[in-house]
Structures are given as structure tokens and as C-alpha cells.
Amino acid sequence: MKKHILVVDDSPDDREVIERNLHNMNGFVFPILVAADEKSCLDHISSDKRIDCVTLDYSLPGVDGLAVLKKILEIDPMIAVVMVTGNGDEHIAVEAMKIGAQDYLPKDRINSDSLQRAITNATERASMQKKIQDQQDELTIFANVLVHDLRAPLQTLTSAIGMLTEDLAPEVALEHKKMLDCIVQGAERMDRLILALKSYTEQNSVHPVFEAVDLNEQVEAARLNLSSDLKAAGASLYCDGSLPAIMGSPPQVMQVIQNIVGNSIKYNRSGAPVVNITSLVKGDIRQIRITDNGIGISGKYMKRIFEPFKRLHRDDEFTGTGLGLATCKKIMDRHGGKIWCQSKPEKGTIFILEFPSL
């Protein structure tokens, strides 16, 4: 299929400048499509033409280019986009790259060399992203099949032990109860580990759509999901409702909060677990602090707890897979944020999340 370059600009003069410089590029042979507004741009993106790269003007009739960029990527997440603006506003460049543009070019710097460099960079980056996404899609399919194939015999084993127990004479079943329970519990632990590992690996393959996230709403969502755990432990979760908004993926941000609060409830011997969530705004940083009265963490384990499969307690003391905090770190990395903790054994723990500003 023939490749195309789409030039999106409401100024005929600016479009002519870009087209002329495109034709002056070394080895340029692609047909050029043009669009003067949002509708015609999106119509081209939705058509059956293969568009290799888009030069997108930041200022379009009734809408800015960042809003149009989001809609372009909703239609084709892997398309190469060069954001073009009438000035060298670095803020626009940063925002465009965050959203998904591969490069940025001020109009006063447009010539055949700069345009060729920007388009080459954009198409190469988009091509690499597509290859990575294809590989991740294949790994996701493989992981799903593997999880199904691994869980099936475990479920068969658990069912078989149940039927065997029912068929045994009461005195025989009682004699072997400890061994049979050990087999079932081992199978159940393995099943939980497989599901946790699947969730952990999915953080590499899922490409969330970022939006403004009200952290207060995500705390309440986590509270609802953990309601039975809170009730069973006699635990209290406090949040004053003044948490700031951040840019991110609502379900993933909620998962971080839920994992940490869930750990605060579980790793607690107080008899009345208390979790308190507060916030602090420091310039462009939004810091969330999750404080508990749990068993605490020794200083030598502060960093290791965020590594996959690092568990500090036996399963018969505190159940778990060792992937909850590793998943939290992976999500925070994806959000351009940080996670760490402050703690002393038997004195409770403070988990600190730092998100960039909106």
C-alpha cells in the first residue's frame, strides 16, 4: 500500500511552505495529503489510505493541536506525528510528546533538512513502537494461554482432592486431613501466584489512556473493593477528601492505592489497623502519603520490598505472592512518578507516592 504524508494546517501559505520543503527532501517520493481543519484531518486518518506521518499544526480553527493529536492517536495509536507550531513554545513540545507525538518543529525553523530529520525521527520511533507493541501483544497472548494451561491442572488437583476426601471413610479422612489440606493449600497458593504474575506482566503490555484523575475518587474506589477486608480486620481507612488531581490512568492509580492499603491491613498485629491518607503539594510534585500502624519494615529491606517475589514473611504467617509492591512500582514508573517508604519495625509504615503535576 502506498504511503502518504498528511499536512494539517489551516494556513494555505504555511501548507505551501511545508509541501515545498517536503519535495526538496532527499529521496522524497510520498504523495502529500492536506487538511485545513480537525474534521478533514480525522477523515484522512480514518480512510483506507496508509498515512506514514502527520505534520500537525498546533493552532487549528476552534481547537488546539493537542486535542486533535489525542483524537488522531485514538484512531491510530501507532501513527507518526510531528507537532508544528508558530513559535518555539517548549511547553507545547513537552505536552505533545507526553500525549504521543514523536517530534516537534517550530515553523520558523522549517526547511528541507529540519523537516526530513523530524519526519525520519518520527517514523522510525513510530515503527519501533509498533514492533514493541506487536511483541507485547504476542507475549500477552502467550501469557494468557500459559496461565490457562497452568491453572487447569491445579484446579483439577483441587477438585480431585475434594472428591477423594468425600469418598474416604470419616476416620481415614480425619487421619490424612493434614496432608490433604497441605496439598490443597499448596495448589491454591500456586493458583494465586499464577494470577499475580499475570497481573504483574500485564503492566508491561497495557497502554493506558492518561487523563485527569481525582485521587479522592480512587481512594473511595479502593475502599469499596477492600470493604470486606476492612470489616474482617476491624480496620479504619481515613482520608480527608483534599487529595489533589493528577494525570494518569484511573484504574492503575486505584490499584496502587488498593495494594498499599491492603498491605497495611494485612501486615498488622494491632487488632485495630488504622490507615490514613494525606497529601502534600510541593511545586510541580503531588505527594501522597499512606500511613499505617502495622508491623513496620526493617531498614535493610526498604528497597527490596519493591522487587518481584521478595517476601519478608512465611506464607503461614502472612499470605501473599511478593508481586503487589512490585506492581505498584511498575505503575508509578509508567506514570513518571516515584514510590518509597519510611518505616521502623513495630512502629508502622508510611508509603510515599509522588506524581508529576497535571
Residue 87: pLDDT above 80? no
Percent of the chain with pLDDT over 70: 88
Over the stretch 261-302, which tens digit does the pLDDT of each residue have? Answer: 999 998 888 889 999 999 988 778 889 999 999 888 887 767
Q: State the cell numbers at 153.
A: 491442572
DSSP 20-87: HHHHTSTT----EEEESSHHHHHHHHHSSSEEEEEEEESEETTEEHHHHHHHHHHH-TT-EEEEEESS
Which residue in 333, 326, 324, 330 sits closest to 354, CA to CA? 333
As beta bridge partners, residue 282 has 285
Query: How far is Cα 253 from Cα 356, in angstroms, rounded to an integer?
Result: 13
Residue 104: pLDDT above 70? yes
Selected residue with higher pLDDT from 143 and 116: 116
Q: How confident is the model at residue 260 (pLDDT cuts 50, 70, 90)?
A: very high
Q: What is the pTM of this model?
A: 0.50
Which of helix, strand or coil describes residue 312?
coil
Residue 51: pLDDT above 80? yes
Give me the mean pLDDT over the 3-32 stretch: 86
Residue 317: pLDDT above 60? no
Number of Cα atoms under 13 Å in the Cβ half of residue 185: 10
Angle of the 324-334 helix axis to the 250-266 helix axis, nearest 10:
150
Percent of the chain with pLDDT over 90: 24
